[in-house]
Homo-oligomer: A and B are copies of this chain.
């Protein structure tokens, strides 16, 4: 089995090292990850400037390619140019911080796995629910076993799995739940400050409004100390609204205008 590993925290981060080490026990692993942190870049790709690729190694055992681009760039160039044969799986993470509910939209970690799914490779994004993590071993073990499961069972073309693991000792984790994307959104606040030259600037801050109580939802699952696994796709059509909008008779919008 060949696995392409990426992330959005950058190739130096602890999460991707733990992930790659665990996956090496079951697969040939190629790491292609951003040179620098790329959190909240969403599904950005680099088109207006060229990409650079640097060979990376750490401790004589961890090898990879560092790309001066986004997570989605890493998957594209990894599959198209850097790997000698296409991967059987793409796995992105382990992200420092959860990627549930609306955060799926903003997440670079998820976009790397989504780019894998777009390129028709079964893909997984995995995150741990804290920015301060000392032990990735349980999350890495989940990734390893889930990789084997997905390799065996496959996923429909275009579907990826989004995994969130509570930042808890293994014995405090209650289990694993199949979940849906939650509805929680951010209550954004821009803090207005004045720089030393008298000019204004704005920092984005705010908090995730916890509206998800249905235990089927990703955000509720991790709050209840479960590992959350959600199938995610990129068909963004709102089919219900599509059906209801037939009443609009939109084809007549410009008649007589």
Contact = CB atoms under 8 A, between A and B. Distances in A.
Interface of A: 37, 39-48, 50-53, 72-73, 76-77, 80-81, 102, 104-106, 111, 114, 118, 141-142, 145-146, 149, 153, 155-156, 159, 175-178, 180-181, 185, 188-190, 192-193, 199-204, 229-242, 245-246, 248, 250-254, 257
A238 B245 contact: no
Residue among A53, A180, A201, A202 with the most chain B CB within 10 A? A202
B81 A51 contact: no
Contacts of A235: 181, 238
B241 A141 contact: no
Nearest to A38: B44
Contacts of A105: 43, 114, 118, 234, 236
Given A176-B253, A251-B175, A236 B241 contact: no
Nearest to A217: B237
A81 to B, nearest CB: 5
Contacts of A42: 41-45, 72, 111
B254 A176 contact: yes
A233 B244 CA distance: 14
Contacts of A156: 238, 240-241
Contacts of A233: 236-238, 241
A204 B146 contact: no
A178 B44 contact: no
Contacts of A104: 236
A201 B159 contact: no
Given A142-B254, A176-B251, A46 B204 contact: yes
Given A238-B156, A254-B142, A50 B177 contact: no
Contacts of A80: 188-190
Contact of A53 (B181, B188, B202): B202
A45 B241 contact: no
B37 A242 contact: no
A47 B204 contact: yes
B237 A230 contact: yes
Nearest to A102: B118
Contact of A250 (B47, B141, B176, B199): B176
